[in-house]
Amino acid sequence: MLTLPYTHNAVAQKLNKRASITDLAKILNLSPSTISRALNGHADISEATKQRVWEVAKELNYQPNHLAAALRRGRSNMLGVIVPHINGHFFPSIMHGIETVASKAGFNVMICQSNEDVQREKNNIDALLNAQVEGILVSLARTTHDFQHFEKVRQQNIPLVFFDRMPEVSSVSGVVLDDHQGAYMAVRHLLEQGCRRIAHFAGPQHLNIYSNRHKGYLNALQAFGLPHDEQLMHFLPKLQQNAGEQAMRELLQLAEPPDAIFGSGDIPVAGALEVLHAQGIRVPQDIALAGFSNEPFTTLTTPKLTSVDQRGEQMGHSAVQLFLQMLKRSDNFAPHRVVLKPQLHIRESSMR
- Chain residues in the site for a copy of itself (CB under 8 A): 2, 17-18, 61, 63-68, 70-71, 76, 78, 86-87, 89, 92, 95-96, 99, 103, 108-113, 126-127, 129-132, 152, 155-157, 241, 267, 270-271, 273-274, 277, 295-297, 299-302
Instruction: State the binding string over 62-101 for DNA (x if CB under 7 A, else -).
Output: --xx--xx-xxxx---------------------------
> E strands of the chain, at which residues?
78-83, 108-113, 135-138, 160-163, 173-177, 198-202, 233-235, 260-263, 288-293, 306-309, 337-340, 343-345
Instruction: Report d(CA 52, CA 49) in Å as an integer.
Output: 5
Q: Which does 205 bind (CB under 5 to 8 A by kind): a copy of itself, DNA, none?
A: none
- Which amino acid makes up residue 125? I
**Nearest to 79, CA basis, from 60, 103, 63, 58:** 103
In DSSP terms, 293 is beta-bridged to 309
157 lies in the site for DNA, by CB under 7 A:
no
Q: Which does 20 bind (CB under 5 to 8 A by kind): DNA, a copy of itself, none?
A: DNA
Name the one range near DNA by CB under 7 A: 17-25, 185-193, 234-242, 265-273.
17-25
Instruction: Report d(CA 163, CA 172) in Å as an integer.
Output: 11
Q: Shortest distance, CB of residue 257 to a copy of itself, whole angstroms? A: 20
Q: Shortest distance, CB of residue 314 to a copy of itself, whole angstroms? A: 17
Q: Which does 36 bind (CB under 5 to 8 A by kind): a copy of itself, DNA, none?
A: DNA
Q: Shortest distance, CB of residue 224 to a copy of itself, whole angstroms? A: 30
DSSP state of 43: T
Name residues contacting DNA, limited to 26-65 (CB under 7 A).
29-37, 39-40, 44-46, 48-49, 64-65
Which residue number, 40 or 330, has a Cβ lying nearer to DNA?
40
Q: Shortest distance, CB of residue 251 to a copy of itself, whole angstroms? A: 19
Question: Which are the contacts of 264, defined by CB distance < 8 A and separation ≥ 6?
Answer: 183, 200, 201, 202, 203, 210, 213, 214, 239, 292
Helix (H, G, I), strand (E, B) or coil at 212: helix
DSSP state of 219: H
